[in-house]
Amino acid sequence: MAASDDHGSLTRAFSGFGVDEKAFVTILGKWHPEERQSFRKKSGDFFVEDERQFERWDDRHILQLRNEFLRLKDAIVLWTMHPWERDARLLKEALYKGPQYNVLIEIACTRSSEELLGARRAYHSLFDHSIEEDVASHIRTPEKKLLVALLSSYRYEGPKVSDEIAKLEAETISNVTKKGDNSVIEDDDIVRILSTRSKLHLVALYKHYKQITGNYLDEDIALGGNSHLKATTQCLCTPPTYFSQVLDASLKYDVDEITKEAVTRIIVTRADADMKQIKEEYNKTFGVHLSHKIEDLANGNYRDFLLTLIARGD
């Protein structure tokens, strides 16, 4: 099917003139970011050009699609969204649903500096506030300090790492984690290191921490109930580990709806990033292929769409 035919099929479906879910799965599942961007730019009835220079969904069409597609809708809307808007909306939803700390941490720590900056810009345009402002005003727990710092971050992404500094900071963190209580999450050194250092630097620090203490940083830092610090460390240093664990927790029969939402969120946002590594980690850790788990638990065109996305990394 030609690109123009694909656009026409999607336009008719988004307009409410009959929904061919299989066509959605086939067309959207194969599109690369550039093709999704082209569709947004050519579909002025559904997407609005934002002043921050990205194409965002018209809210009334999101409501329409919610009625049309149910769970498949969430995957389709997130997949077609500009990544900046997608992350901004996920951040907003996470802040007001609980809040969902792990989603805030996930976006702050697994996006590149430019991607996170774009999400902050989109958040400004969509909600007339900064995400940092909303986190600071709505979160009353000790996690506030860390979350504001992580979401404000613009990390160095070059190749240079000072191994000496990484080792010194591993020693600094080991001295803090020895306390083994919840005050660790507000420690100035912990917050500074995790929110400002490059990811390559933190990977080196992670290695030195293991050599110094004999333990893994993400496990030690979780002592005293600091599960959010564990998620932060994994997202920064070993993201496939984090994503595979969250997927496994959400791919169960008896979990609540908010937990189930992680399946759509992770597969859609990581399909063009590190899905291959996530699948390998999932298989290694849980002894089953991610695709087989989804086949067992998901249904219909929603299942087929997820399987199409996770196959992109093959």
**What digits encode the pLDDT tens for the residues 65-96?**
655 566 687 888 899 999 999 999 999 999 99
Res 18 pLDDT > 60: no
The Cα 83–Cα 308 span in angstroms is 19
Contact assessment for residue 7 and residue 27, using Cβ atoms and an 8 Å cutoff = no
Residue-wise pLDDT for 261-290, tens only, equals 999 999 999 999 999 999 999 999 999 999
The Cα 100–Cα 108 span in angstroms is 13
Where in the chain are all domains bearing CATH 1.10.220.10? 1-81, 91-153, 163-237, 241-313
**How does residue 64 score in pLDDT terms, banded at 50, 70 and 90?**
low
301 or 235: which leads in pLDDT: 235
Res 1 pLDDT > 50: no
Please state the rounded mean pLDDT for residues 84-112. Answer: 96
The confidence score (pLDDT) of residue 194 equals: 98
* 91-153: CATH architecture: Orthogonal Bundle (1.10)
Phi then psi for residue 311, to 5 deg, are: -80, -10
Which CATH number does the domain 241-313 belong to among 3.20.10.10, 3.90.190.20, 1.20.1050.10, 1.10.220.10? 1.10.220.10
Residue-wise pLDDT for 173-217, tens only, equals 999 998 877 889 999 999 999 999 999 999 999 999 999 999 999
CATH numeric code, 163-237: 1.10.220.10
103 or 57: which leads in pLDDT: 103
Closest CA to 79 of 269, 243, 279: 269
The topology (CATH level 3) of 1-81 is: Annexin V; domain 1 (1.10.220)
Contact assessment for residue 271 and residue 312, using Cβ atoms and an 8 Å cutoff = yes
- Please report which residue ranges of 152-299 form alpha helices under DSSP H: 163-177, 188-196, 199-213, 217-220, 227-237, 239-250, 257-270, 275-286, 290-297
